[in-house]
Structure 1
Amino acid sequence: MSHTNSKPSASRRDFLKTAAATAGAAAAVQLSLPAVHAAGSDVIKVGVIGCGGRGTGAAENVLSAAPNVKIVALGDVFEAPLKRCRKRLTEFAQSDRIKQLGNSVELSDGTCYQGLDAYKGVLSSEANYVILATPPGFRPLHLEAAVAAGKTIFTEKPVGVDGPGIRRVLKAYEEALHKGLAIVAGTQRRHQRGYLETLKQIHDGAIGDLVGGRAYWNQGILWKRDRQPGMSDAAYQIYNWYAYLWLCGDHIVEQHVHNLDVLNWAFGSHPEKAVGMGYRVPRDKGYGAIYNFFAIDYEYPKGVHALSMCRQISGCANEVGEYLVGTKGTCHVNAYSINGKRVASRGGADPYVQEHTDLIESVRSGKPLNELKQVAESTLTAIMGRMSAYTGKAITWDMALNSKENTYPEGLTLDMSLPEPEVPTPGVTKFV
């Protein structure tokens, strides 16, 4: 898991140049792709698993990303988002831009699947490209199944909420490599021109060796959903998924993972240890037991520290972004600024579209991208920070990865009774 340097005397930027060259050489190797992959100008047939706002948005993005794309299957636990998604995509496909690309939405009642097993219907359809956009607690299960089915995969971040889930994802990553499958993650900054140009200069030594960093996602309070009449515990928790650890992972995992991914990208490694804090101010009913603020000190290789801060409380100072400190200067990453000077433009393609363009191009060129390991590492970076805040203990990478805390309800059914969780208390809550 660790990206260690085989030559301790070399600088981190030397390592990153070597790693980039190695990755480029590996990407150039032609793989024998399964027949399920589109090749050349073959049609990309998309199935969407999770039809809420993000799944619907990702489906619109892929329709905008390349020619010869069709939406052929949808799946969701609930009927309402399934119907909304189908209606919106059907209308979206009527735009001149989508028609010019030769793209379409071809859905029927028989290709729209509902229930906890809806993902199985989508994976058994004619789709050769699947979007995984359910609440992240389901992601390990769906990734395993999509890889087993040999699909090209766009997976939203994060890709799990606990150590056991990440272990499953890393195993799926190895299987995907063996099969030559293409997987791109919804950490869209890695497909955003300004970030790419800025981080290239950092890796080329623009501010010297990195000695520190900061990452923020501080914003106002986020949404909650009220329980509807007749809803079981399980149905309600899935409906109001952001409030529950087993589905969301808490907002440091579900949201702040974007900024932590940028730190890992910049440092060329995941952190080795996390020490942090967090808690929650009083919240209305409907917010489960998740925290509304975290502050984490991450220790990266060579003793380099980075501060992480995220908060969801209205009426406070807000910021979303990343900063780096080097031996020769500083970088405000999301501002594309090095030592106070803008080094990249704000233009370029919409990264939410570009990530699909890059994925499709990698398949059609026979050089499949596979981002699953890096997003798994960024997800576990967030998880180890949450673990430290919940317990009040220092948590190492290996502790987080090998944790036995499996949050997914055993034998989950939609009519299951599930208790309301207790708020974790630092110094009392135990690491498992």
Structure 2
Amino acid sequence: MARSSTVIQRVPCTRRSFLHQSSAVISALAVTRLAAGQTVHVAGSDVLRLGLIGCGGRGSGAVINALTVDAQTKLVAMADAFAWRIDESLQSLLALKPEQIDVPPERRFVGLDAYQHLLACDVDVVLIAVPSHFVPIYLQAAVDAGKHVFCEKTHAVDAPGVRSVLQSAETARQKGLSIVSGLAWRYDTGVRETMQRVHDGAIGDITSIQEVCNTGSLRSLPRKPGMTEMEYQIYNWYDFNWLSADLPGLNLVHNVDKGAWALHDAPPLSAWGMGGREVRKGPTFGDVFDHHATVFRYPDGVQMYAYCRQINGATTDISDVFIGTRGRCDLLQNKIEGEVTWRYEGPPCNRFDLEQAALLSSIRAGTPINNGLYMARSSLLALMATWCSHTGEEITWDQALNSQRQVNPERYALDAPPPVLPDADGNYPIAVPGTTRFA
């Protein structure tokens, strides 16, 4: 299935026009309300019917979060590329929430077209937790089908995908549909309270931001016997750029999203960076790097420094630090120091529960939530980090947003060749900074 050409923006968008257009859309999203008595779920029923597209750990977890926060929800349909993943997920879900699970065999759909069959079912809300390459396609289809959506990050792997997400957000606004992003820190109670104080001036004007996501190696899955190359890459999608957008798409996106939030989601002027593949080498690790460092340049000399690494045995650090003219903020510690000293002392929360509660309550209240703008922007920040590392080039926001570069398979089928293939020794082509070019 090819992406619709209608979502490819033909007129170049500059940072200035993006800011202007975004402000207008934010205003429209903020006032979106359904007419009194109007509902966008099952008429005459208090039960919200959920469909899950992508039945791995994050998708299954999102279902549990939704069923936990709203007892009047039911999971009624599931879709995944692999039948065994549906079976494993369903078994786990039935063990935890049997009274809220109703997914008979005829509502279990397998394959890369499974999402289409699920969207044809009588579902009100779709939870999308799939390799990032597919997110814009599935999001557009869900919104076109009139479904409310929870959508896991990262929301695109290329600029046409980012533009598609923006278009889907606008379509959702027009239809009165909710879109909630899996950039879950925006729903964390302590983080929200801390960020509000930053926005209220507790640390003065922000001069620099440091975002770090250095961890051990995430999973790299061995090939199962009999798998086609497409099946293997989708199964082991963390390690393939066309599916994940490398480490920035997998995990640093949460950090740069928080940095962007601190700066009121204004886009940067440009970014440059570096990265490489020092430890995680060989066919098992596909074509991704194991470390990235990026500098995002903003007006008035403000810079955001973003780092991510996945190397076992190295120091781990996950943090967000904002430096201002009157103090500093350690966001994940919910702490502000300087002229103002403050720390959040409220109760702990489950941000994954809270994002589902926000989605479901917005549907019931008829006051749609639409996270489409910031989830598209933050996804593009993550993509810029990847592209800067791979090429060694400085890339402007305008270049990134208007890029036409895409890496797509000729067709979406498990027996089709993926767009990246190994050589005779099983090794995949790796980006070389200074040689690989951004286009």
Same fold (TM over 0.5): yes
1:246-294 alpha-carbon deviations (Å, 9 max, x no partner): 1111011121100110001000112221010000114243111100000
Percent of pairs identical after alignment? 37
Report if the CA contact (8 A) 1:46-1:73 is conserved.
Answer: yes
How far residue 28 of structure 1 moved from its aligned partner, in angstroms, is 5.0
Give the match for residue 425 of structure 2: none
- State the partner residue of 1:274: 271
Cα distance in 2, alignment partners of residues 329 and 24 from structure 1: 31
Note the alpha carbon deviations across 1:375-429, whole angstroms, 9 max, x for none: 1100000101111111111001111111121122121221123313411010000
Partner residue, 1:31: 34
| Contact 1:38 1:363 (8 Å CA) reproduced | no
Q: Partner of 2:57 in structure 1?
A: 53
In 1, Cα distance between the equivalents of 2:336 and 2:155? 31
Aligned partner of 2:383 in structure 1 is 383
1:276-295 superposed matches below 5 A = 276-282=273-279, 283-295=281-293
Match of 1:428 in 2: 435
Q: Which amino acid aligns with 1:109?
A: P
C-alpha separation between the residues in 1 aligned to 2:33 and 2:397? 34
Gaps of 5+ in 1: 6-18, 95-102
Give the count of matched residue pairs: 410
For the 8 Å contact 2:33–2:176, the answer to whether it is kept is no
The verdict on how the C-alpha distance between 1:289 and 1:29 changes in structure 2, with shifts beyond 3 A counting, is closer
C-alpha contact (below 8 Å) 2:290/2:311 kept by paired residues? yes
- Does the alignment pair 1:70 with 2:35? no
Q: Note if contact 2:335-2:343 (Cα within 8 Å) is conserved in structure 1.
A: yes
Residue aligning to 2:240: 244
Q: CA RMSD in A?
A: 2.2
Partners of 2:38 and 2:170 in 1: CA distance: 16
Match of 1:411 in 2: 411
The answer to whether residue 207 in structure 2 is matched with residue 204 in structure 1 is no
Deviation at 1:317, TM superposition (A): 1.1
CA deviations on 1:10-61 (whole Å, 9 max, x unpaired) are xxxxxxxxx8xx9689635532497543689721100000000111111111
Matches of 2:49 and 2:39 in 1, distance apart?
Answer: 13
- How far did 1:302 drift? 2.8
Give the corresponding residue for 1:109.
Answer: 105
Stretch moving more, 26-35 or 184-193: 26-35
Look up the equivalent residue of 1:386 and give its one-letter code.
T
2:227 counterpart of 1:220? no
Query: CA shift at 1:300, angstroms?
Result: 2.1
| 1:2 shift after superposition | 8.1
Instruction: Report whether the alignment pairs 1:85 with 2:81.
Output: no
- Matching residue's letter, 1:62: A
Q: Which residue of 2 aligns with 1:173?
A: 169
Measured at CA, do residues 415 and 374 of structure 1 come closer, stay the same or move farther in structure 2, by a change above 3 Å? Answer: same
Relative to structure 1, is the Cα distance of residues 34 and 130 closer, same or farther in structure 2, using a 3 angstrom cutoff?
Answer: farther
Question: What is the aligned partner in structure 2 of residue 257 from structure 1?
Answer: 253
Alpha-carbon separation, structure 2, partners of 1:24 and 1:257: 25
When the two structures are superposed, what TM-score results if normalisation uses the length of structure 2?
0.89
- Residues 211 and 345 (structure 1 numbering): CA distance in 2 closer, same or farther, change over 3 Å? same
Tell me how far apart the structure 2 counterparts of residues 353 and 171 of structure 1 sit (CA, whole Å).
27
On the 8 A contact 1:280/1:290 being kept in 2, the answer is yes
Instruction: Please point out which of 178, 185, 189 is paired with 2:181.
Output: 185
CA distance in 1 between partners of 2:69 and 2:269 (Å) = 37
* Deviation (angstroms), 1:349: 2.9
Is contact 1:40–1:364 with CA below 8 Å preserved after alignment?
Answer: no
Say whether the 8 Å CA contact 2:14–2:398 is kept in structure 1: no
Counterpart in 2 of 1:313? 311
Structure 1: how far apart are the matches of 2:102 and 2:164?
Answer: 33
Distance 1:40 1:201 in 2: 42
